[in-house]
Amino acid sequence: MTQRPDTQILDRVASPADLRRLTDTDLSRLARELRSETISAVSETGGHLGSSLGVVELTVAIHAVFDTPRDKLIWDVGHQCYPHKILTGRRDRIRTLRQKDGLSGFTKRSESEFDPFGAAHSSTSISAGLGFAVGRDMGKATGDAIAVIGDGAISAGMAYEALNNAGAEGRRLFVILNDNEMSIAPPVGAMSAYLSRLWGTAPFSDMRALAEGMEAALPAPMRDGARRARQLVTGTGSGTLFEELGFDYIGPIDGHDMGQLLSVLRAARMRATGPVLIHCCTVKGKGYAPAETSADKYHGVAKFDVESGTQKKGKGGPPAYTKVFGQALTDAAARNPDVCAITAAMPSGTGLDIMAKRFPARVFDVGIAEQHGVTFAAGLAAAGLKPVCAIYSTFLQRGYDQVVHDVALQRLPVRFAIDRAGLVGADGATHAGAYDLAYLSCLPGFTVMAAADEAELCHMVETALAHDAGPIAFRYPRGAGTGVDLPERGEVLEIGRGRIVREGADVAILSLGAHLSEALAAADMLAAEGITATVADARFAKPLDMDLIRNLSRHHAALVTLEQGAGGGFGAHVLEAMARDGLLDGRLAVRTMTLPDRLIEQASPAEMYADAGLTAADIALRVNEALGRTDANVVRLPV
Ligand SMILES: Cc1ncc(C[n+]2csc(CCOP(=O)(O)OP(=O)(O)O)c2C)c(N)n1
Ligand SMILES: CC(=O)[C@@H](O)[C@H](O)COP(=O)(O)O
Ligand SMILES: [Mg+2]
């Protein structure tokens, strides 16, 4: 437990209505207290601290100037919303952030009326904001829409689709660009360079407001420099990109200067008639030295000691799947110059930073642009290279049409390394890698693998790189592996061939992926009851190993499939294949074990799997039930 900060003004703010009664001076003091409270809370929970610290003043200023919750404040991604949660009636639960039964780490409609639109995946805020603006104009009882989007999030195609639409619609809408010159990693791309030019060429005192009316409403020092800044940026005297798209552009302004923020927001709120983009420059991790000076600006931190900033990370143990993948791919890249890799703004999250250190010219960070990343990989494959597209399961959803149309339909050999498969823990349901088995296994010509442990992952890296016949994916979970010995180099697996890991006579458990350890634990529990289980690792969700399935079906009384994914995935495909094969016509009892058809909220992965009914004890229970042993006394494992 850390010492709680002094929060005299914050203690008087139960909701934004209280904050609106404060003087501007007190709003600055409130921001200081809010920052301390945020640091103190996240030191106990872990979470996205750096992004939240960067928007403390902005959060206070927006709530002071706008009439939330009538006005709709939409945080892009939502990972920076901790100060917002503290100010909007959730301070008493802020120390439950990202824990089981606690507050979500993102904005969430079911949590508060101050969260009008949920998020966690990036770059949706402008689209949603425009929806609210249109809703207002069509007579719904809602006020202004304010979208706050980061410089990382604005690199995504969706943001431009929204700007394009909003600019043409011409409706009153506020977009606040929170530019801290950081994504999770340093930002990449031409747009990032453009924003830096805007930032660099127009000092805050030269802030400009393009809408004449707004400019007039601003304090005198802020009126200066508008035209000069424009000419410096564009070299032509024409507008910024945002103006060309139909927005009034205000900025850049100092997002930590409360006076400037309040003046600009008040002026904009008073005068805006159409879409306005306010370019706010902030510092990720602002006001907390360990965050400001760290390379990742404390994007996502474990619990930490406030004094020193030292994070309480688990020590030792088996290597993370992500690291094993990164190293295996780097080794493969050393052997084959055609191997290249793509990440969508997650170089360290995907382990591609390992390869990037050694082969920087062959690792491409495309920004938060999964759609482009997938089609770019398709282009690389069409050009004859061996692209490995490393994307979290949940974020690959963003690039699904590209997976279908650009990769699968053209049978291009793009290799998908799908990290964060299954339940991920503190990020909760929005980040669960629940659907990839379902959405990939239905695609003609796609090969889909899942690694049961980190040695299997090494084999799958090699298998994927050797497979030139079409698209291929391999999935693996967040966190540490099982501790098995790693091969010097992975083996190329036979496509569509599973393996039997343990022989038994009564029941077969056909597991896909990293829940194999639970299947084996269940087999141990069953053995204690006198039931022997064959445990098989399917390795492939597609193509299925029909010989293995036939063999298991014919020689056991029950078959249970197991996967770390939603219904419609592996189990569903096994059932379909068995039905086609006539294997469901006889005496065999078949059960599928998948994630249930509901969201599993954040907790530790073990707690989440227990909530999902996917523990070893659950598997043993299901086997007993399939065998008709309803009186079986199988004890649930503690979580
Ligand atoms: C579609 C999607 N891809 C990737 C991510 C992972 N992600 C979360 S925050 C983030 C960086 C966001 O940068 P920025 O918008 O500048 O916000 P900052 O953290 O700098 O405040 C990324 C890549 C995501 N949430 N959604
Ligand atoms: C907000 C967001 O989407 C990312 O920061 C995500 O939380 C990273 O997850 P990992 O910690 O699993 O890399
Ligand atoms: Mg940023």
Question: What DSSP string describes 76-93?
Answer: SSSTT-HHHHIIIIIGGG
Contacts of residue 233, defined as CB under 8 A and 6 or more positions apart, other chains included, come to 197, 198, 201, 202, 240
What is the rounded average pLDDT of the residues 393-410? 98
Angle at 86 between CA 84 and CA 89, to 5 degrees: 100
pLDDT band at 296 (very low <50, low <70, confident <90, very high): confident
Q: Nearest to residue 392, comparing CAs of 416, 427, 361, 428? A: 416
Measured from the CB, is residue 602 less than 6 Å from ligand 1?
no
ipTM over 0.85: yes
Contacts of residue 512, defined as CB under 8 A and 6 or more positions apart, other chains included, come to 437, 450, 537, 538, 539, 541, 561, 562, 563, 570
CATH number, span 321-475: 3.40.50.970
**Ligand 1 atom closest to residue 398's alpha carbon, by position in its atom list:** 1
Q: Which residue minimizes the CA distance to atom 10 of ligand 2?
A: 349
pLDDT band at 297 (very low <50, low <70, confident <90, very high): confident
Measured from the CB, is residue 151 less than 6 Å from ligand 1?
yes
Residue of 205 and 575 predicted with greater confidence:
575
- Torsions phi, psi of 615, nearest 5? -85, 170
Q: 179 with 282: CB under 8 angstroms? A: yes
Length of the chain: 639
Measured from the CB, is residue 281 less than 6 Å from ligand 1?
no
Q: CB count, 10 Å around CB of 320?
A: 18
Measured from the CB, is residue 222 less than 6 Å from ligand 1?
no
Give the C-alpha separation, 422 to 226, whole Å.
Answer: 50
Q: Measure Cα distances from 599 to 428, 430, 504, 566, 602 in Å.
A: 9, 9, 34, 10, 10
Residues forming the annotated binding site for thiamine diphosphate? Answer: 79, 120-122, 152-153, 180, 288, 370
Pinpoint the residues of the chain covered by CATH 3.40.50.970: 10-292, 321-475
What is the rounded average pLDDT of the residues 220-242? 52
- Ligand that lies nearest to the alpha carbon of residue 154, given by its number in the listed order: 1
Predicted local confidence at residue 4, as pLDDT: 84
Residues forming the annotated binding site for Mg(2+)? Answer: 151, 180
pLDDT band at 2 (very low <50, low <70, confident <90, very high): low
Catalytic amino acids? 284, 370, 398
Predicted local confidence at residue 197, as pLDDT: 85
Q: CB count, 10 Å around CB of 168?
A: 11
Q: Nearest to residue 160, comparing CAs of 278, 56, 245? A: 245
Residue 326's identity, in one-letter code, is G
pLDDT at 213 > cutoff 90: no
Predicted local confidence at residue 237, as pLDDT: 47
Q: Which residue minimizes the CA distance to atom 4 of ligand 1?
A: 368
pLDDT at 636 > cutoff 50: no
Query: Over the chain, what is the mean pLDDT?
Result: 93
User: Cis peptide before 186, with omega less than 30 degrees from 0?
Assistant: no
Report CA(119)–ligand 2 centroid distance (Å).
13
Q: Does the 10-292 domain belong in CATH 3.40.50.1010?
A: no
Give the C-alpha separation, 254 to 459, whole Å.
Answer: 51
Predicted local confidence at residue 199, as pLDDT: 74
Report CA(425)–ligand 2 centroid distance (Å).
10
pLDDT at 201 > cutoff 90: no
Predicted local confidence at residue 617, as pLDDT: 98
Report CA(146)–ligand 3 centroid distance (Å).
18
Torsion from C-alpha of 247, 253, 254, 255, nearest 10 degrees: -20
Q: 87 with 58: CB under 8 angstroms? A: no
Measured from the CB, is residue 183 less than 6 Å from ligand 1?
yes
Q: Which residue minimizes the CA distance to atom 5 of ligand 2?
A: 300
Give the C-alpha separation, 595 to 587, whole Å.
Answer: 26
Level-2 CATH architecture, domain 499-626:
3-Layer(aba) Sandwich (3.40)
Residues forming the annotated binding site? Answer: 79, 120-122, 151-153, 180, 288, 370
Give the C-alpha separation, 122 to 156, whole Å.
Answer: 8
Q: Which of 419, 427, 604 to mutate to test the pocket of ligand 2 (most atoms within 8 A of CB)?
A: 427
pLDDT at 238 > cutoff 80: no
Q: CB count, 10 Å around CB of 207?
A: 27
Q: CB count, 10 Å around CB of 109?
A: 11
Contacts of residue 510, defined as CB under 8 A and 6 or more positions apart, other chains included, come to 498, 536, 538, 548, 549, 552, 559, 560, 561, 562, 574
pLDDT at 224 > cutoff 50: no
Q: What share of the chain is helix, strand, coil (3-state, %, to 5)?
A: 45, 15, 40
Report the chain's terminal Cα–Cα distance, integer Å: 24
Lowest model confidence (mean pLDDT) among 439-443, 468-472, 628-632: 628-632
What is the rounded average pLDDT of the residues 52-77? 98
Q: Measure Cα distances from 534 to 356, 508, 552, 594, 618 in Å.
A: 42, 5, 8, 19, 17
Q: 347 with 363: CB under 8 angstroms? A: yes
Residue 173's identity, in one-letter code, is L
Predicted local confidence at residue 639, as pLDDT: 33
- Ligand that lies nearest to the alpha carbon of residue 296, given by its number in the listed order: 1
Q: 427 with 300: CB under 8 angstroms? A: no
pLDDT digits (tens, 9 = 90+) for 470-507: 999 999 999 999 999 999 999 999 999 999 999 999 99
Q: How do beta strands 145-150 and 173-179 pair?
A: parallel
- Torsions phi, psi of 405, nearest 5? -75, -40
Give the neighbor-by-neighbor strand order of the sheet with 558-566. Answer: 499-502, 533-537, 507-512, 558-566, 589-595
Torsion from C-alpha of 373, 378, 381, 385, nearest 10 degrees: -10
Give the C-alpha separation, 126 to 107, whole Å.
Answer: 15
Predicted local confidence at residue 239, as pLDDT: 79
What's the farthest any 2 CA atoms get from each other in the chain?
85
Predicted local confidence at residue 218, as pLDDT: 54
Contacts of residue 371, defined as CB under 8 A and 6 or more positions apart, other chains included, come to 157, 398, 399, 401, 402
Predicted local confidence at residue 203, as pLDDT: 45
Give the C-alpha separation, 181 to 413, whole Å.
Answer: 35
Q: How do beta strands 275-281 and 173-179 pair?
A: parallel
Measured from the CB, is residue 432 less than 6 Å from ligand 2?
no
Per DSSP, the three-state class of 284 is: coil
Give the C-alpha separation, 73 to 76, whole Å.
Answer: 10
Q: What is the pTM of this model?
A: 0.94
Report CA(80)–ligand 1 centroid distance (Å).
10
Contacts of residue 260, defined as CB under 8 A and 6 or more positions apart, other chains included, come to 204, 207, 222, 253, 254
Report CA(420)–ligand 3 centroid distance (Å).
23
Residue 458's identity, in one-letter code, is C
Report CA(75)–ligand 3 centroid distance (Å).
13
pLDDT at 548 > cutoff 90: yes
Pinpoint the residues of the chain covered by CATH 3.40.50.920: 499-626
Contacts of residue 513, defined as CB under 8 A and 6 or more positions apart, other chains included, come to 421, 422, 450, 451, 452, 475, 476, 477, 563, 564, 565
Q: Which residue minimizes the CA distance to atom 22 of ligand 1?
A: 184
